[in-house]
Each structure stands twice: as structure tokens, then as C-alpha cells.
Amino acid sequence: MENEIQEIFARIFGRPAQNIYFAPGRVNLIGEHTDYNGGNVFPVAITLGTYAAVRKREDRHVRLYSESFPEKGIMEFTLDDLTYKKADDWANYPKGMFHFLKEAGFLIDQGLDMAIYGNIPNGAGLSSSASIELLTGVMLRDLFDLSIDTLDLVKLGQKTENQFMGVNSGIMDQFAVGMGQADHALLLDTHTLDYEVVPADFGDYVLAIMNTNKQRKLTGSQYNERRHECEQALKKLQEKLTIHSLGELDSETFLANVHLLENENLVKRARHAITENERTKKAKIALQKGNLVEFGELLNASHASLQKDYEVTGKELDTLVYTAQQHPGALGARMTGAGFGGCAIALVKKTAWDDFVQEVAQTYLEKIGYPTEIYQANIDDGARKL
């Protein structure tokens, strides 16, 4: 891949690149829709990601090219105008990082040429935008010798997403992409940003990523509706309990006070947020003990909760997950990401891989009418210079 990105850079910009950088995508193993409920997430950085070849310029122009969007050609802006422009399309993600680093007082006084090549499927919910943000941050830190730590780059990545791109997302994606460690998962408390690095040794098993190929479109209204229902549930529980978020509750306390909610929808949404948060802690212990069977059961339980209590799965994800769960070579499967499309994951025995891929792909094609793509993902380090 490094040779490919070198060749792309030379072809587009007519000169050799100076440096090569890589930022991974991410998969959340468990802990879905817990971030805005004050709970934990349990992501990993993966070996699929985004590569960049870069060379500094003598002027203040920034020229960007992505092999994922060749039809858009070279996107260009200057260091003197780092405002969001709709016409700049995907280039707004790197531009946002330039903008916030300069706003924070860091000296970036030369432009650059950058060619990007990613192998994260677009719209799959594996965090291609966070990957580009952290790729840009790590690249600028290296090229301009900026004294900023990775956690602060992570926060600027989230700021780019929230304030520059206008997407009201949590910090998990940027955190996993920036702070990821090979063969480890990160148990992150999204409320405090305290985190634990947990060994994720899958032994004879590998992580399968199954793409619905239905672009993930958790519409603003559905996403906001779920958040609103959780906020309503919290408000009603606060009439009796001294809590700041659903993530502070355990199942026992919730069951003892569930009568306060009155509305079945609120019960379901809150129950998911609370039980899913508990599953992140159980998943940590299961991996620490090397108990992959229990870990697989937690994946299955997570999907059931997302399907029945949170209602964010849909036919495509349910078909992939159910087919994967039935396969004798799989220990468990669940949707990952926001839902309504995107990807699912499964823990699959290495020796059963080919049969698993064939069976899941065939069943999905028969039931949904178009193909899935199934990747084997390894757990990687965070964004870095190669």
C-alpha cells in the first residue's frame, strides 16, 4: 500500500512524496449508543485505514487528492482561508484540522501537496472521517514539529466533526483512531475520558467485518429521537434518583425504579443504555480471562438489545448477524456503529473462515438481493508516520 500511495502522489503532483502516514479505521466491539448516555465504549483500531503521501510546498497553497474520489480531482485551499465551504466536499475534514490547529496558536506557515488512499469502504460506519482527521493531525504535527499530544489531536478531530462539519457525534471514533494499540481494545469512559487498555487476544479466532452495503444513514430525526427518549427517561428517573446520566445506573437499580418511566418506549431505550454499558465491563473481564465464548455471548446479547430495545438494526443488519450467529464457526455477532445499515462484526474461527464467508454472503444475497462484503480485520496501532 505504501508503494501504491507513493505512485499515486507522483502521478498526480509530478514529484516524489516526502513522507507517508497512516491512520486506521475503527470498530466498536461493544457499547453502542452508550456514549451520549454517559457510558463506556469498547473500540479497537483496525488495519483497514487511510494512507497519505505528503510533500511541503514553498507557498501557502494546500492541494489534496483522494483516490477514493478521483472524479473530484485536486481540491485546493490556502492557509489564509480555512473556512468551511460545501464545494470543498471531503477536503473539509483536513481543512478543519488545519483551522483548529492554527486557531490553537500552532505555526503552520507552508502549504503542502497530499494524496490520500483509503481502503475503508465509504459509508460503512468504520469511521473514515475520523481516520482522515487524525491522519491530518499526525501529519501536521510531524511536518511542522508541533508540540501537541495525541489526546489533544483527538479532541481537535471531534471539534472538526462537531463545529466544522456540523455533525453532533461523540469522541469515540477519533479516540480509537488516535489512541489505538495493536492487539488491544480501549475501554473508554466517554464522560471522563478515563480509559483502560485491554488485551484483545482472539487466539484461533479472527474478527470479521460484514458490510451491508446499505449506506449508513441514521437520519438526524431517528438519531435525535433516540437521544431525546433517553433524556426523557433520565429526567423521570432523576425525580427519585441522584444521577447525572443513565450510564451511572446498574440493572438492579433500574428495575427497582422502572415504574417511574410510565412509557414502554422510554423503558426500552433506557434499558438498552444501561445493559449495554454493563456489557462493556463484562466484555473487558471476558477478554482479560481469555473467555472468548462469553465474549461471543455478549456480542449476541448486544445485538438483541439494539434490535428489540433500541430498534436501530433493520433487515440488512439482522440478516447478516442472524446468519453469522447460526454458523458453527462463529462465537457471536452484532451490528456495530449507529445502525440502520453500515457493518456488523463476528468472531470467527480461522479454520472456518472460507466456509463462513461463503455461507453468509450467499444467504445475504438471497434474502436482500445485493451482495455483502466481508473483511478480516486485525487490531492495529493508532495514527502514525510510516
Nearest-angstrom CA–CA distance, 182 and 383: 11
Residues with Cβ within 8 Å of 68's Cβ and at least 6 positions away in sequence, in order, are: 90, 116, 117, 118, 122
User: Cell match 444467504: residue?
Assistant: 363
Query: What is d(CA 198, CA 243) in angstroms, rounded to the nearest whole number?
Result: 28
What gap in Å lies between CA 161 and CA 138, rounded to an integer?
17
Residues 6+ positions from 289 with CB-CB distance below 8 Å: none
Cα distances (angstroms) measured from residue 45 to each of 20, 29, 48, 135, 178: 19, 10, 9, 13, 8
Cα separation, 306 vs 335, whole angstroms: 8
- Phi and psi at residue 193, in whole multiples of 5°? 70, 15
Q: Which backbone phi and psi does 329 adopt, to 5 degrees?
A: -90, -5
Positive or negative CA dihedral for 324, 188, 124, 55?
A: negative
Catalytic residue among 35, 173, 309, 380: 173
Q: How far apart are CA 298 and CA 266, in angstroms?
A: 23
**Angle, in degrees to the nearest 10, between helices 128-143 and 172-179:** 50
Confirm whether 173 is a catalytic residue. yes
Do the Cβ atoms of 140 and 110 come closer than 8 Å?
Answer: no
Q: Where does the chain have alpha helices with state H?
A: 2-13, 92-103, 128-143, 150-159, 172-179, 220-237, 251-257, 264-289, 292-308, 315-326, 353-368
Q: Which amino acid is at 101?
A: L
Q: Specify burial of residue 5 (Cβ count, 10 A radius: 0-12, 13-18, 19+).
A: buried
The Cα-based distances of 179 to 37, 75, 175, 195, 281 in angstroms read 22, 29, 6, 10, 19
Question: CA–CA separation, 43 vs 25, rounded Å?
Answer: 10
- Residues annotated as catalytic are 173
